[in-house]
Structure 1
Amino acid sequence: MPFSLAIVVPAYNEAQVIDSFHSRLGAVLDAIDATAHIVYVDDGSQDETWARLCALADRDPRVEAMRLSRNFGKEAALTAGLDHVDADAVVVIDADLQDPPEVIPALIERWREGNDVVYATRGERDGETRTKKFTSAAFYRVMERVSDTPLPRDTGDFRLLSRRAVEALRELRERQRFMKGLFAWIGYRQAAVTYHRDARYAGSTKWNYWRLTNLAVEGITSFSTAPLRIATWLGVSAAGLAFLYGLWVLLKVLIWGDPVRGYPTLMVVILFLGGAQLLALGVIGEYVGRTYSESKRRPLYYVESRRGGRPPFT
């Protein structure tokens, strides 16, 4: 039975790969009995990405290109695409060809079984270092333990969403966005499709370890209060140890007199208590900063221009 299918593709400095990606995506969509609509979201690229997207929109009636007014980040670009589409099923996929478009039919098959969210779980992962694989696996396992909304392991943004799942996501307008967590938070029936993740086709990754670390902090603080709880227990532990040490000093004075205590011991105590306090304040600051950002209620993104495709979703 024919249905409408939208593909949301965020892109940032992907000029080297965008034509190859579209060629493979187009071949997949040609074999699917669906009315397809492809929305490319240029997240303020600084290379020729926008020019190439405009060229695709001019020659392929299925393509619509959106350019954001600046680089708002991938999470905002995904949100812009999801806000714009109107289809029975929506697939979110990156343009770097690490997530092969050929997996889309398998996602559709699971969706037809009644699932609202079908996420693509990475089996083998080419082109990634052992450090990257280890830190990625560690992050998902930490999230399983500290979050009330566990994330599926080894799963990125590549997935299919039903119409009602997309409508649910549109209601979540928080500024500090961690899309993997939001995809899981909405609930509904979810299923997995395992696939082989390829190495990047061309260009270089935009996700260095600094940005990945920031994303991990974003995910943990957005979907868990565990860091605050840890800071509380760290403060209690530090206070308890300080009390026990003070009691020991008092007993020493009462039993053996008042010998001169050493400088190293004093410095250890000061540094321990000071470090514990600064750590707790830093964790609290992360949450206060997020509260401040949410209170300003700024728009998530601005669209500078569009090319091709259908009128925007209203």
Structure 2
Amino acid sequence: MKYYDVDIKIRDRINHNANYSRERPVLSIVVPCYNEQDIFEHSFKSLYALLDDLVKEGLIENKSYLLFIDDGSKDDTWSLIESASHKFDRVKAVKLSRNKGHQVALLAGLCESNADITISIDADLQDDISVIKEMIIHYLNGSDVVYGVRNDRTSDTFFKRKTAGFFYKTMKWMGVEQVPQHADFRLLSKRAKDALVSYKEQR
């Protein structure tokens, strides 16, 4: 799957394939949050509008929802999440007792999700949410795991680009199989998600 500059011809061909092998799923979008008060409103509105569009297009069930995980924020992030969850049926909220780290918050969200498919994404929305539609279509055509892979890191700082490159090279040298340039932006079917959370290792 391409990222940011998805090939238009490929996207059009996928979107016009109506012979899906799976039924329309319930989707949960898991969003770990830590001190996100300044960007929460933008992130929430963007993801909620996307969810609404996907429901209207008939790609996901109306019971689909956003799941925000507050990782012990010290600002007003939790009050914003809580308020959204009270106002909108498609918003769910989980608050961790203290800051436990991004990966633990993400795992908590995966454990809490009971949807047919779960997509995880960072709250800053540096990932291109427009490709979520394509992720879902790949699921409908039989995929259990769909990664969002970055092929353009120009928005990152020089330091971040270099350290990311070093990280992937080091992991490869150590024999760890990875998908290069992907982070936490991915789709998991319920089967894949349940297999992942069955492991006790948090990292």
TM-score, with length taken from structure 2: 0.82
Deviations 1:77-136 (A, max 9, x none): 011111111111100001102113222101112222211110000111243222210110
CA distance in 1, matches of 2:53, 2:144: 22
Q: Which residue of 1 aligns with 2:125?
A: 97
Counterpart among 161, 174, 184 of residue 157 in structure 1: 184
Q: In the TM superposition, what whole-angstrom CA distance separates every residue of 1:22-62 from its partner, at most 9, and x where no partner exists?
A: 11111111121323121100000000100100111111101
Give the structure, 1 or 2, with the largest relative contact order (CA under 8 Å, sep 6 or more). Answer: 2
How much is the aligned-residue C-alpha RMSD, in angstroms?
1.3
Report the AA paired with residue 38 of structure 1: L
Decide which of 32, 40, 47 is 2:68's aligned counterpart. 40
Q: How does 1:195-234 map to 2 (within 5 A)?
A: none
Q: Please name the residue that 1:28 is paired with.
A: 50
Distance 2:153 2:138 in 1: 22
Q: Is residue 171 of structure 1 aligned with residue 198 of structure 2?
A: yes
1:52 aligns with 2:80: yes
C-alpha distance in 2, partners of 1:126/1:84? 34
1:4 maps to what in 2? 26
* Aligned mates of 1:172, 1:74 — CA distance in 2: 17
Percentage of identical aligned residues: 39
Question: Which residue in the other structure is 1:293 paired with?
Answer: none
Aligned in 2, Cα 1:72/1:106: closer, same or farther, shift over 3 Å? same
- Is 1:69–2:70 an aligned residue pair? no
Distance 1:2 1:152 in 2: 27
SS in 1 for 2:26: strand
**Residue 134 of structure 2: aligned partner:** 106
Runs of 4+ in 1 over 3 A off after TM superposition: none
Change (3 A) 1:90 1:129: same
From 69, 81, 85, give the equivalent of 2:109: 81
Give yes or no for contact 1:8–1:82 (8 Å, CA) kept in 2. Answer: yes
The alpha carbon displacement at 1:141 in A equals 1.9
**How far apart, CA to CA, are the structure 2 residues paired with 1:101 and 1:54?**
23
Q: Secondary structure at the match of 1:54?
A: helix
Corresponding residue SS for 1:65: strand
For 2:66, give the aligned amino acid. I
Computing the radius of gyration from Cα coordinates, the structure with the larger value is 1
* Counterpart contact for 1:122–1:155, Cα < 8 Å: yes
Counterpart for residue 16 of structure 1: 38
Counting only pairs closer than 5 Å after superposition, residues 272-311 of structure 1 correspond to structure 2 as none
Does the Cα contact within 8 Å between 2:24 and 2:140 map onto a contact in 1? no
Q: Deviations over 1:9-29 (max 9, x none)?
A: 100000111111111111111
Distance 2:141 2:169 in 1: 28
SS class of match (2:115)? coil
Kept in 2, the 8 Å contact 1:25–1:102? The answer is no
Hey, what's the Cα distance between the residues in 2 that align with 1:97 and 1:126?
16
| SS of alignment partner, residue 29 of structure 2 | strand
In the alignment, structure 2 segments of 5+ residues that lack a partner are 1-22
Question: Which structure shows the higher helix fraction?
Answer: 1
Equivalents in 2 of 1:97, 1:130: separation in Å?
A: 20
